[in-house]
Structure 1
Amino acid sequence: MTTFTSCVYVTHLVAPKYGSTEAECEDAITVLPGRPYDYMLQEPITAGVCDGATESALSKDWAGLLSGAAAEDAMQRPHVLAGGTAFEEFAASAVAQWEPWLARYTQDREADGRPLKWYEHTKLEEGAYATLLMVRIDPDTDSPTGTSEPAWRWSAAALGDSCLFHLRDNRLVQTFPVASVEEFGTNPDLFSSRNHDAALLARRTRFTEGRCRPGDRLLLMTDALAAWLMSAGDQEDAVSQLLEYASPDDLDDFKQWLNGLRERRQLRNDDVALVRIDFEGR
């Protein structure tokens, strides 16, 4: 019998909107385990991808905190991506991290001689907001009957319009949670740092799962890039363009490519976060 081995490679890129700096970027990614992009992974992988809402205060910081909480919880508790009580517990624990973080932030501002202004206090009372895409990938020991080809199974949860795309033969075979470009709007569902109704957050969150085999790819991305991909007239060409960027060394070229799309009015001028997950086997 032929013995197959399989592995996964992960890289991620984050780029600010045109005219902004990296420090101003409100998109955030956390991938676990934290390995170099060329490291051969044969173990569970988790990711949190968040898009901070510009209209809310400290959305960049909340997106970073939420993406980290999502990746860590998914790594520790795989069943969180089945929804229900497990996801409610995650939501409650993520929100609980905000107040201690905000207290430290306030103290640091005071220590630096930059105490919060009255209008900042008012804005912070409203909370910070971000979308959430949460993913876990596991080696699949239950391969389809009659084949020894390795496989991986993935589970995902999404609140808002950060998206997962499953590619096979570099063609889209599944999109989640948005099914068509018309679904992108200006008011996506958001995860609030002050929403203590964990049951409500769980009800608004969508869940799905799938399987990958060698040669497949998963792309996780925030809404601007996802909308561009879904609206492309030639989707195979769009995928081919996107797959040119395979490592952190490509970040400068990735930014130039994004700016070219923006100049041609093909891509909305917004922050972009991308996680690329390649499944390989032999």
Structure 2
Amino acid sequence: MIPGRPHDDELQEPLTAGVCDGATESALAKDWARLLSRAAAECAMERPDLLGGGAAFEDFASSAVSQWEPWLGQYTQARHDEGRPLKWYEHTKMAEGAYATLLTVRVDPVAASDSGPAEPTWRWRAAALGDSCLFHLHNDQLVQAFPVSTAEEFGLTPDLFGSRNHDVALLARRTCFTEGRCGPGDRLLLMTDALAAWLLSVSDQEDAVNQLLEYAGPDDLDKFKNWLSGLRERRQLRNDDVALVRIDFEGR
């Protein structure tokens, strides 16, 4: 749900969301992840065909990369105006570019037909580069994990989207695409790799899903943070940044 928006409006309009995880070894990775996530969500709203790959995705990739240099120029000027000009080693690091994973999803309501089901349904499409993951839950049971489906698939060097990578054809080839259908009661969970690896590695996945749904609610961020801290203290969750987007599907 989106606060301040009537539920019926949401059933009739598309929704886009994304999660990008900056690579800590690159400079300004969080800023690039934020820019990339926003660019992907905005572009997916305007051009849903980018979630099918090919030329549309290449156009998006080119557009996202083209936004980096202007942003970097503004950042550099702001640092100068604040009396904190960039150090020589920062210039060196920035020349290498910033890197992040990419996960973006678009959800569209499916128009009802005379012979179709009475309850609303939605079509979702997703694109992923790297190891940020989307999970589709049906009756609070995991039915699909994308693009990583087992804990063993997580590695130290996932594919990354570079802020200065102008080889958009290569980015498109390395990106995975998928789609599915959701009905009332289904959920989509988008998350970065540390939390995704935890979910796929636990012995009792049903309990793990129940924990996620209990602690990752929309109204109590502190509760979610405390739960994550507990997992880290018990060494069940890798000590890394966590981002989570939860999309719940409800009927009329």
Question: What range is the shorter-chain TM-score in?
Answer: over 0.9
> 1:172: which partner in 2?
142
Alpha-carbon distance in 2 for matches of 1:143, 1:154: 19
**How big is the shift at 1:142?**
5.9
What is the identity, as a one-letter code, of the residue corresponding to 1:85?
A: A
Structure with the larger helix share: 2
Partner residue of 1:135 out of 105, 110, 119: 105
Structure 2 residue 224 is matched with structure 1 residue 254: yes
SS of the residue aligned with 2:232?
Answer: helix
> 1:50: which partner in 2?
20
Assess if the C-alpha contact under 8 Å between 2:18 and 2:190 holds in 1. no
Assess if the C-alpha contact under 8 Å between 1:217 and 1:277 holds in 2. yes
Structure with the larger strand share: 1
SS of the residue aligned with 1:280?
Answer: coil
Q: Which has the higher contact order (CA 8 A, sep 6+)?
A: 1
Assess if the C-alpha contact under 8 Å between 1:80 and 1:87 holds in 2. yes
> 1:83: which partner in 2?
53
Distance 1:202 1:143, change over 3 A: farther
> 2:248: which partner in 1?
278
Superposition map of 1:29-108 within 5 A:
35-36=2-3, 40=7, 41-42=10-11, 43-108=13-78
Q: TM-score, normalised by structure 1?
A: 0.85
Structure 1 unaligned regions, length at least 5: 1-8, 10-34
Alpha-carbon distance in 1 for matches of 2:184, 2:113: 12
**How big is the shift at 1:260?**
0.4
Distance 1:64 1:236, change over 3 A: same
> 1:186: which partner in 2?
156
Assess if the C-alpha contact under 8 Å between 1:136 and 1:156 holds in 2. yes
Alpha-carbon distance in 2 for matches of 1:245, 1:37: 23
Assess if the C-alpha contact under 8 Å between 2:194 and 2:242 holds in 1. yes
What is the identity, as a one-letter code, of the residue corresponding to 1:88?
A: E
Distance 1:248 1:281, change over 3 A: closer
Percent identity, aligned pairs only, is 75
Alpha-carbon distance in 2 for matches of 1:142, 1:84: 30
SS of the residue aligned with 2:118?
Answer: coil
What is the identity, as a one-letter code, of the residue corresponding to 2:195?
A: L
SS of the residue aligned with 1:272?
Answer: coil
- Greater Cα shift, 60-69 or 134-143: 134-143
RMSD: 1.6
Assess if the C-alpha contact under 8 Å between 1:37 and 1:247 holds in 2. no
Q: TM-score, normalised by structure 2?
A: 0.95
**How big is the shift at 1:148?**
2.7
**How big is the shift at 1:179?**
1.3
**How big is the shift at 1:99?**
0.2
Assess if the C-alpha contact under 8 Å between 1:143 and 1:150 holds in 2. no
